[in-house]
Amino acid sequence: MVSSPDTGSGPRLSPALIATLVAVPVMVIVGFITFAAMKSAQSSDTPIASYASAESAVSADCAKLLAALPNTFEGFGSKSVNGDTATWSGTDDGDPVTVRCGVDRPAELAPSSRLQTVNGVQWFITDTIDGRGQAYVCVDHRPYVALWVPVSGGNASITDVSAAIGKVLPSGPLDFG
């Protein structure tokens, strides 16, 4: 009797099919890791982090402002101050509300610029990132103050920050460069 090499284990899978069955899940995992890494790198920096700092010493006025800012905003964590910047982290891993004191005057500010007035403070919109948020610079008080409001930030942050600026910082003329 001659034994057969086929032991009844069923049809053999082709090497191409085995390679595909291994490669697809690996690619899905790599895709998720890449997406997560890009998202966390993207949300860690807001546009106001790259704004140039004013050359003049404004630390005393900025310290007063940062101390006067609210400790919390609805939907955000407690205020954290680091140098000239205050942040309130989001609860959903989104961008934080961020205030940065002592930035340069926005170069794009011109007599024809549209300004928003909130609580008597005039804001110039400097950056808008769809799906992330909006950056503003207060242009009628000194030192200049930048504010990042994520899409989940609502109006409370700009309203409360404006009130603090109006109470603490001296007003100044609009400077169109």
**One-letter amino acid identity for 74?**
E
Q: Which two tokens stand for residue 53?
A: 């700092």
Domain ranges across the chain: 45-168
**One-letter amino acid identity for 150?**
P
Q: What is the pLDDT of residues 101-149, one digit of tens each?
A: 999 999 999 999 999 999 999 999 999 999 899 999 999 999 999 999 9
What's the pTM? 0.73
Which of 169, 133, 99, 45 lies closest to 88, judged by CA?
99
- Tokens 């610079």 belong to which residue? 137
Position 43 confidence tier, pLDDT thresholds 50, 70, 90: very low
